[in-house]
Amino acid sequence: MGLSAAAPLWGPPGLLLAFALHPVLALRPHRDYCILGAGPAGLQMAYFLQRAGRDYVVLERSSSPGSFFARYPRHRKLISINKRFTGKANAEFNLRHDWNSLLSHDPRLLFRHYSRAYFPDAGDMVRYLGDFAAKLGLHILYNTTIAHVRLDKDGQAWNGHYFILTDQKGQAYRCSVLLVATGLSVPNQVDFPGSEYVEGYESVSTDPEDFEGQNVLILGRGNSAFETAENILGVTNFIHMLSRSRVRLSWATHYVGDLSSLRLSSGGAFSKKYPLIKANYESKGSRGLFVLGTASHSVDYRKSAGGFIHGFRYTVRAVHRLLEHRHHGVAWPSTERPITQLTSSIIRRVNEASGLYQMFSVLADVILLKENTTTFEYLEEFPMQMLAQLETLTGRKARHGLFIINMEYGKNYSGPDKDVFFYDRSVGHMRDAWQSNFLHPVIYYYRHLPTEQEVRFRPADWLLPRPTAIHHIVEDFLTDWTAPIAHILPLRRFLENCLDTDLRNFYAESCFLFTLTRQKLPPFCQQGYLKMQGLVGTEHLRRHRAESGLLRDYTATSQRPGNQGPVGHPLAPGPTVQPLDNKKREL
């Protein structure tokens, strides 16, 4: 999607947050979850609730899902890319380049089966959303316009109150949780002398002939403005485009809301446009009211993709997981793994995870260390600004330190007016990784869960409070972070130093040697070899090992008396490493 031009979908402006106090109507069916709007965000939430077996209903004003796309964009071409082939098979990775699909377990419900166009037609989106709702059997009440929403205080209710929704026929619905997924419904009216001649985007003609031989002034230089201009370019005398700020191209800002090759946008007074919500997408005013989809973009406005399908499909999932814990005692999904899998777990996620990539710096993975750091728990795509409340929000414990895995652009990288192709913009060496400019993985280590205070008063331009230690994986143009020396090795060293242990892998033969010559074993031998799951290796590998000098080849060494030198020396734990003396390099 990505088109967030103002369009009155839900009747009078400001309705949703103005809770009128009407007398209770006779029959009010109860639903645990009520979703307003069967657009992409509403359908996405409905899908998760359905899979979890929850009591929910979607209330939709029109007669089919995705009515926004039946009308917008006016010139029918979507600006969200539909890259059908990425050269990779990994379905999770491919979602990084699929900006239109909703998340589901059914691979047939991927948008690439609905359109071949790189910038697809809006009609295909309508068809796709219709199929999504129908094939998954989502519970949607069509032709239901909610005219009033009010709060009904009740100590029994999950959130201390019920949401009473009344539709155009006077039918009321009582909901424990209200999920608003209506998009943005208020057009941004401009008031200036002559504004009476303004034709809004929502009603402007899409027929170029209507503009023949005219001088046209377009207010705004966003995606809608350019879309309109492109359409009438051939027939007009002059087109003037006017706006408060310069043109921002999305490849310069890495923000989809900016023009993607001279198309699309949302200008407008931000504060009026988006409702006030917290980082968990809950309304600041009413507990139990969540804002999903385009309207939730305030959380990451101008930073990440939360205002677009390819962003909010993940934030909706995060909201669902929070709700599962809050109301059903289902802890945030996680897997517990041995510490020997730590490096590879992180490498796997940064290479394939689409939620981390699309909602960079908004959703982040969390690794919770368990006692004695022999195992860890992996939680995916947690709203990182809620970090301080992690324990209460997820039902998981963070008592022994934690890692946060986030994707970030360089601090100096993008922004309007910056030349993103500046000289020396890419960082090649891993020791300069912290200066990486392109989107790259950043890992924060905290010995203790940060407090709310620490999150709130974090240093300027930090996403999170100052960590105990931080690691950047050096940027890679193909977002392929699997190089053994450039990516994996520095990550392992970082993790080792945070955990104060040795995370190397060893062959069974080395573990055998350590077992009989030392009292303690490295984690890999403890968790593998000692449990009779050692890595044996083949003859080829054994030869390479002897050549590398990492373990002496004892088959070759004949018995030489007085042949000293510590056994398997390079592998053995050495003396504690001193940090480089800071002053040594200075006077």
Partner 1 sequence: MKAYLFRGNILLREFPTDSLFDVNAIVAHVLFALLFNEVKYITTLEDLQNIENALKGKANIAFAYVRAIGTSEHRAVMEAAFVYGTTYQFVLTTEIAVLESIGTEDIEYAHLYFLHCKPVLDFIQQCRRTLMEQPLTTLNIHRFIKTMEAPLLTEVAKDPQQVSTIHLQLGLPLVFIVSQQVTYEADRRTAEWVAWRLLGKAGVLLLLRDSLEVNIPQHANVVFKRAEEGMPVEYLVLDDIDLIISRVESNVHTQEIQEDEDDDMEDPDMETEDDEVAETVYRDRKRQLPLELTVELTEETFNTTVMASDSIVLFYAGWEAVSMAFLQSYLDVAVKLKGTSNMLLSRVNCGDWSDVCTKQNVTEFPFVKMYKKGENPVSYAGMLGTEDLLKFIQLNRISCPVNITSVQEAEEYLSGKLFEDLLSYSSVSVLGIFSPTMTRAIEDFTEAGNYLRGYVITGVYSEEDVLILSNKYTTTIPALLLARHKEGKIESIPLANTQAQDIVQIITNALLETFPEITVENLPTYLRLQKPLLILFSDGSINHKYEEVILTLIKQKHLDSLTPCWLNLKNTPVGRGILQAYFDPLPPLPLLVLVNLHSGGQVFAFPSDQSITEQNLLLWLQKLEAGLESYIRILPAEEWKPPLPAYDFLSMMDDATSQHPIRKAPKCMKETDVQENDKEQHEDKSTVRKEPVETLRIKHWSRSNWFKEAEKSFRHEKEL
**Euclidean distance between CA atoms 545 and 549, whole angstroms:** 6
Q: What is the 3-state secondary structure (H, E, C) of 343-390?
A: HHHHHHHHHHCHHHHHCCCCEEEEEEECHHHCEEEEEEEEEHHHHHHH
Asked if 470 is part of the footprint of partner 1 (rule: CB under 8 A), the reply reads: yes
Q: How far is the CB of 290 from partner 1 (least distance, A)?
A: 27
User: Residue with structure tokens 């705004």?
Assistant: 220
Q: How far is the CB of 406 from partner 1 (least distance, A)?
A: 14
Q: What phi and psi values does residue 356 have, to the nearest 5 degrees?
A: -65, -35
Q: Say how many residues touch partner 1, by CB under 8 A.
A: 113
Nearer to partner 1, 266 or 345 (CB): 345
Nearer to partner 1, 93 or 142 (CB): 93
Show the DSSP H helices in 12-104 as ranges.
Answer: 40-51, 67-71, 91-94
Asked if 112 is part of the footprint of partner 1 (rule: CB under 8 A), the reply reads: no
Among 17, 25, 91, 134, binds partner 1 (CB under 8 A): 91
Kindly write down the DSSP assignment for every residue of 170-196, as one continuous string: S-EEEEEEEEE-----------STTGG
Q: How far is the CB of 559 from partner 1 (least distance, A)?
A: 6
Q: How far is the CB of 170 from partner 1 (least distance, A)?
A: 47
Per-residue burial over 210-242, b = 16 or more CB atoms within 10 Å of its CB, e = otherwise: ebeeeebebbbbbbbbbbbbebbeeeeeebebe
Q: What is the 3-state secondary structure (H, E, C) of 549-580?
A: CCCCCCCCCCCCCCCCCCCCHHHCCCCCCCCC
442: three-class secondary structure by DSSP: strand
67 exposed, middle or buried (CB, 10 Å; 0-12, 13-18, 19+)? buried
Kindly write down the DSSP assignment for every residue of 146-168, as one continuous string: EEEEEEEE-TTSTTSEEEEEEET
Nearer to partner 1, 50 or 344 (CB): 344
Nearer to partner 1, 111 or 378 (CB): 378
Nearer to partner 1, 104 or 260 (CB): 104
Interface with partner 1 in residues 518-577 (CB under 8 A): 518-523, 528-538, 540-542, 544-545, 547-548, 550-555, 557, 559, 561-564, 566-571, 573-577
Q: Which residue type sits at 81?
A: I
Asked if 482 is part of the footprint of partner 1 (rule: CB under 8 A), the reply reads: yes
Q: How far is the CB of 353 from partner 1 (least distance, A)?
A: 9
Cis amide prior to 484 (ω within 30 degrees)? no
Q: Which residue type sits at 91?
A: A
What DSSP element (H or E) covers 334?
Answer: strand 334-338
Asked if 458 is part of the footprint of partner 1 (rule: CB under 8 A), the reply reads: no
**Euclidean distance between CA atoms 269 and 313, whole angstroms:** 25
Asked if 86 is part of the footprint of partner 1 (rule: CB under 8 A), the reply reads: no
Nearer to partner 1, 458 or 545 (CB): 545
Asked if 79 is part of the footprint of partner 1 (rule: CB under 8 A), the reply reads: no
CA dist list (Å): 176 to 173, 229, 292, 397:
10, 46, 16, 28
Interface with partner 1 in residues 337-366 (CB under 8 A): 337-338, 341, 344-345, 347-348, 351-352
Asked if 505 is part of the footprint of partner 1 (rule: CB under 8 A), the reply reads: yes
Asked if 517 is part of the footprint of partner 1 (rule: CB under 8 A), the reply reads: yes
* Joined tokens for residue 7: 């369009």
Binding-residue pattern over the window 174 to 213 for partner 1, x denoting contact by CB under 8 A: ----------------------------------------
Binding-residue pattern over the window 129 to 158 for partner 1, x denoting contact by CB under 8 A: ------------------------------
Asked if 372 is part of the footprint of partner 1 (rule: CB under 8 A), the reply reads: no
Nearer to partner 1, 56 or 494 (CB): 494
Nearer to partner 1, 196 or 539 (CB): 539
Asked if 498 is part of the footprint of partner 1 (rule: CB under 8 A), the reply reads: yes
Binding-residue pattern over the window 264 to 303 for partner 1, x denoting contact by CB under 8 A: ----------------------------------------
Nearer to partner 1, 328 or 493 (CB): 493
Cα 573 from chain centroid (whole Å): 40
Q: How far is the CB of 400 from partner 1 (least distance, A)?
A: 14
Interface with partner 1 in residues 398-457 (CB under 8 A): 430-431, 433-434
List the one residue out of 473, 559, 553, 452 whose CA is nearest residue 509.
553
Asked if 509 is part of the footprint of partner 1 (rule: CB under 8 A), the reply reads: yes
Asked if 103 is part of the footprint of partner 1 (rule: CB under 8 A), the reply reads: no
Asked if 375 is part of the footprint of partner 1 (rule: CB under 8 A), the reply reads: no
Among 23, 53, 107, 194, binds partner 1 (CB under 8 A): 107
CA torsion sign for 244, 247, 249, 252 is negative
**Euclidean distance between CA atoms 415 and 249, whole angstroms:** 9
Nearer to partner 1, 23 or 575 (CB): 575
Q: How far is the CB of 23 from partner 1 (least distance, A)?
A: 51
Q: How far is the CB of 466 from partner 1 (least distance, A)?
A: 8
Among 303, 467, 475, 476, binds partner 1 (CB under 8 A): 467
User: Residue with structure tokens 């019920």?
Assistant: 162
Task: Count Cα atoms within 13 angstroms, Cβ side, for 478.
Answer: 7
328: three-class secondary structure by DSSP: helix
Asked if 489 is part of the footprint of partner 1 (rule: CB under 8 A), the reply reads: yes
Q: How far is the CB of 454 from partner 1 (least distance, A)?
A: 15
